[in-house]
Amino acid sequence: MKISEVVQRKGSNVVTILPDATVTELLASLHEHHIGALVVSTNGTTVEGIVSERDVVRALHERGVGVLDEPVRSIMTVEVQTCQESDDLRELAVRMTEHRVRHLPVVDDEHHLMAIVSIGDVVKRRLDELEDETSQLFHYVQGDRSTV
């Protein structure tokens, strides 16, 4: 299965934030959209960084509440792991695990932002796959080979 299938099901809407926005504004956006990370972009199409709830927690622990008035650029991850729609879902799950990231921007060949996938999206799609396989095996064992 390809990432394009995940994007097709969940949609390609990506919430971005400006690098100069404050961490407080970041938190408001995360809350408003019920998401765990935002792509940092000055124009909505480039990926200049990514910032997650985890980044906020670490910064709060290290620097205190003053970080809430700092710009997002001060806590964002600059070396962003990305993927493309043609990438394999299983390989992406391994990459996310190895790099310990929960969100990956989906980019095209020119590195323009197209979508974002989360580990939750990957797990949900993988569970759907396993459910389909189980159903097919059940029908096969029951003798209904027309569905296999």
pLDDT tens digits for range 36-76: 999 999 999 999 999 999 999 999 999 999 999 999 999 99
Given this model, what pLDDT does residue 63 score?
96
Given this model, what pLDDT does residue 138 score?
75
Contacts of 108 (CB under 8 A, 6+ apart): 84, 85, 114
What six digits make up the tokens of 129?
Answer: 């796959």
Three-state secondary structure string covering the chain = CEHHHHHHHHCCCCCEECCCCEHHHHHHHHHHHCCCEEEECCCCCCCCEEEEHHHHHHHHHHHCHHHHHCEHHHCCECCCCCECCCCEHHHHHHHHHHHCCCEEEEECCCCCEEEEEEHHHHHHHHHHHHHHHHHHHHHHHCCCHHHC
Given this model, what pLDDT does residue 142 score?
81
The answer to whether the CB of 41 falls within 8 A of the CB of 113 is yes
Low-confidence ranges of the chain (pLDDT < 50): none
Given this model, what pLDDT does residue 137 score?
74
Q: How far apart are the first and last CA of the chain?
A: 18
Q: Which residues of 55-78 are buried (b: 16+ CB within 10 A; e: fewer)?
A: bbeebeeeeeeebbeebbeebbee
Given this model, what pLDDT does residue 11 score?
85
Q: Which of 82, 84, 71 has the alpha carbon at shortest distance from 2?
A: 84
Given this model, what pLDDT does residue 145 score?
59
